[in-house]
Amino acid sequence: MSADILAHALIEGPADLHLVDAVHAALESLWSAVPDVSEEDRMLFALAVSEVATNVVEHAQGPDHPEVTIRLEVDAGALTAVLTDDADPALIRLDQVSMPGAEAESGRGLALALAALDELVHEPGQGNTWRLRRRRRVD
């Protein structure tokens, strides 16, 4: 954990697409709190978080209603997000993700997240942990 956190937000709830809307609202609050984050950093980080959160919610399948926790953080150098759930570990190989062709109606999410981030890590275990990091660019 870096010591110079400028703003953070925590979103918790059942695996449901409304959680993705809550994430976007939380990001808006973070940008208000730290207005010098560039438009490009805001847009690409929001894109990555939206993709991973949607993926987490849509793949969180288990006998109990899985819970998802999302922590968002802004510091002087980077935008980070950590998403955790208590669902079954997802079988995803990030090194095999590629952008699908023009006909596809799905399957672009993680490819977009990889393009928008400097770091994307998936740690399956007792559930799933996703770590997202985008280094802030200078305008």
Partner 1 sequence: MNITLTTHDDYAVVAVEGRLTATGAPRLRQSVDDAVAAGRARVVIDMGAVEFIDSSGIGALIGGLKSTRLADGDLRIAAVPETVRRVLKLTNLDRVLREYPNAEAAFDVR
- Binding residues for partner 1 (CB under 8 A): 17-18, 20-21, 24, 43-44, 46-47, 50-51, 54, 57-58, 99, 102-109, 111-112, 115-116
106 vs 126 by CB, closer to partner 1: 106
Q: Using alpha carbons only, what angle is made at residue 101 by residues 134 and 129, rounded to the nearest 5 degrees?
A: 35
Residue 14 parent element (H or E): strand 5-14
Nearer CB in complex with partner 1: 42/75: 42
Amino acid sitting at position 39? E
**CB of residue 54 to partner 1, shortest distance in Å:** 5
**Dihedral sign computed on CA atoms, order 116, 11, 76, 39:** positive
First to last CA, the chain: 25
CB of 80 to partner 1, least distance (A): 19
Query: By C-beta, is 51 or 85 nearer to partner 1?
Result: 51
Taking the least distance from each CB to partner 1, the nearer of 43 and 121 is 43
Nearest distance, CB of residue 98 and partner 1, angstroms: 11
CB 3, min distance to partner 1, A: 31
CA distances from 131 to 35, 38, 41, 113, 121 (A): 23, 21, 17, 11, 5
Residue 87 gets which letter from DSSP?
A: S
